[in-house]
Amino acid sequence: MAMKGLRIRSYDEQMDRGGVIELERRCSVGPSDRVFHLFTDTLGDPIARIRNSPLFKMLVAELENELVGVIQGSIKTVTIQKASKDLSKVGYISGLRVSPLHRRKGIGMSLVNHLEQWFIDNQVNFAYMATEIDNEASVKLFVNKLGYMHFRTPAILINPVYQQSCHISTDVKIRKLRTEEAEYLYRNYICSADFFPSDIDKILQNKLSLGTWVAYDCADQSQTLFGQNGQVPNNWAMLSIWNSGKVFKLRIGKVPLSWFLYSKGFGLVDKVFPCFKMPALADFLDPFGFYFVYGLYCDGPQSGRLVQALFRFVHNMAAANSMDECKAIVTEVGGYDTWRLHIPHWKLLSCPEDLWCIKALKPEERNTIQEFTKTQPTSKTTKPLFVDPRDI
Ligand SMILES: CC(C)(COP(=O)(O)OP(=O)(O)OC[C@H]1O[C@@H](n2cnc3c(N)ncnc32)[C@H](O)[C@@H]1OP(=O)(O)O)[C@@H](O)C(=O)NCCC(=O)NCCS
């Protein structure tokens, strides 16, 4: 039942900007007992994270004229293989925050209910969201109370940017693709991945998308025909980069003693091996930008090392572009994507299990959800997942 005096309404930039920024500042994401607290800084534009989606909405919760909660939603069309149609409209829920002083009063649930209604009004087939597996409040709210079903557990892999460049083998050729070439490859090789967006061209053309690169062996003669007439090298890999730091920054809050000592250890490494230049923990206490790697794909028995070379290339690009203040390379990969093994990352910063949950908003899609969730995911049964950089 709706709480007395609670009002859910659309975000008004002029009226609510300050209140939402203040709320974001006070709300860390995830469980309160975690090793470190992660905060987001939306650089003065709270709606910036969803602005790049085809259709978006932000709602705020007001209690006696005080802004006590916020939620964001975006709608797009994607591939969902098991759905009633090949293309489905999906609504993504993000940025749910309730003021710590007003939790457990039903405000979070009310915000989600209102956003779901907006999805339904816009003919959305499925609502979905992602949360860390150990965020008890969020998991209980969505799964236990609101009927969302867990369907995937990809990993968020984070690697810090070192001052030193990473070595890339001279046997590997890395080439930037033109946007049309990238679109061609994505539509031909990844279009069957779950959540592949129908407007991939818009993502690739977006100013936050820094480009798409392919890697292949220099010795491979077929490389000159790359992507044309359906020809690709025997081993190849591809990825695109999204400059997330231009939309929002991350910051680590509370730091426990163990982390402090860990950081001190790195300080020692720096002194002994000055050329190594490990990032210091202090670098993550100030707001930092990051590159999000999306649309990762590889093919061929030897393509793992090409994935690794591409990630080294992204790292070197981040290290060289000091203007982007990019201190981390972030990507999200399905638990069964074999190329995950070749992606450099720091376990301490990464999230091994990001829980993706889904709910059918149309009765005819309920079977789809059952299909999604009935089989235990394995490398054979699980389709690759496309993680849209606009959802990050
Ligand atoms: C997650 C969050 C939005 C929940 O907001 P809220 O207004 O307190 O949630 P509600 O009062 O609507 O809770 C509804 C149900 O969710 C579950 N729930 C909410 N918070 C919970 C908690 N801390 N522990 C266990 N269950 C919880 C309960 O089942 C609750 O029903 P109940 O109170 O009848 O038992 C809030 O804790 C928050 O802002 N957290 C920090 C930001 C964050 O992690 N956001 C989620 C990102 S996906």
Query: What CATH number does residue 191 fall under?
Result: 3.40.630
Question: Which protein residue's CA is at the shortest distance from atom 4 of ligand 1?
Answer: 108
Q: Identify the pLDDT of residue 169.
A: 93
> Is residue 259, in this structure, part of any structural domain at all?
no
- State how many domains the chain has: 2
- The reply to whether 287 and 243 lie within a common domain is yes
> For 201-210, how does the pLDDT look when each residue is reduced to its tens digit (9 = 90+)?
999 999 999 9
Is the pLDDT at 149 greater than 80? The verdict is yes
Query: Could you give the count of Cα atoms lying within 13 Å of 80 in the half-sphere of its Cβ?
Result: 25
CATH code for the domain of 49: 3.40.630.30
> Is residue 292, in this structure, part of any structural domain at all?
yes
CA–CA distances in Å: residue 50 to residues 10, 181, 204, 300, 390: 14, 26, 16, 36, 7
- The reply to whether 142 and 233 lie within a common domain is no
More confident residue, 10 or 283: 10
- The reply to whether 307 and 382 lie within a common domain is no
Ligand 1 contact via 145 beta carbon (within 6 Å)? yes
Average pLDDT over residues 124-135: 93
- The reply to whether 170 and 101 lie within a common domain is no
- The reply to whether 228 and 274 lie within a common domain is yes
Ligand 1 contact via 374 beta carbon (within 6 Å)? no
What is the residue-averaged pLDDT of the chain?
85
Q: Identify the pLDDT of residue 182.
A: 94
> Is residue 85, in this structure, part of any structural domain at all?
yes
Ligand 1 contact via 137 beta carbon (within 6 Å)? yes
> Is residue 1, in this structure, part of any structural domain at all?
no
> Is residue 75, in this structure, part of any structural domain at all?
yes
> Is residue 109, in this structure, part of any structural domain at all?
yes
How confident is residue 163, by pLDDT bands cut at 50, 70 and 90?
confident
Q: Identify the pLDDT of residue 279.
A: 56
Helix, strand, coil tally for the chain in percent (to 5) = 35, 30, 35
Distance of CA 183 to the CA centre of its chain: 20
Ligand 1 contact via 136 beta carbon (within 6 Å)? yes
CB-based contacts of 340: which residues, under 8 Å, 6+ apart?
155, 157, 333, 334
> Is residue 53, in this structure, part of any structural domain at all?
yes
Of 78-92, 94-108, 213-227, 342-356, give the range with the top mean pLDDT: 94-108
Of 2-6, 31-35, 38-42, 258-262, give the range with the top mean pLDDT: 2-6
Of 88-97, 153-162, 252-261, 344-353, the range with the lowest mean pLDDT is 252-261
- The reply to whether 123 and 173 lie within a common domain is no
- The reply to whether 337 and 366 lie within a common domain is no
Of 151-160, 241-250, 294-303, 305-314, give the range with the top mean pLDDT: 305-314
Question: Which protein residue's CA is at the shortest distance from atom 1 of ligand 1?
Answer: 138
- The reply to whether 162 and 116 lie within a common domain is no
Q: Identify the pLDDT of residue 366.
A: 82
Of 91-100, 226-235, 254-263, 346-355, the range with the lowest mean pLDDT is 254-263
Distance 105 CA to ligand 1 centre (A): 9
Pairing of strands 326-333, 289-299: parallel
Q: Identify the pLDDT of residue 313.
A: 97
Q: Identify the pLDDT of residue 199.
A: 96
Closest approach atom of ligand 1 to CA 99:
39
- The reply to whether 149 and 13 lie within a common domain is yes
Average pLDDT over residues 53-73: 96
- The reply to whether 85 and 196 lie within a common domain is no
- The reply to whether 211 and 313 lie within a common domain is yes
Of 279-288, 303-312, 346-355, 365-374, the range with the lowest mean pLDDT is 279-288
> Is residue 347, in this structure, part of any structural domain at all?
no
Residue from 31, 36, 33 nearest 262 by CA? 36
Q: What is the pTM of this model?
A: 0.89
- The reply to whether 315 and 383 lie within a common domain is no
Q: Which of 98, 112, 115 to mutate to test the pocket of ligand 1 (most atoms within 8 A of CB)?
A: 98
Range of the domain at 144: 6-153+355-391
Q: Identify the pLDDT of residue 276.
A: 42
First to last CA, the chain: 32
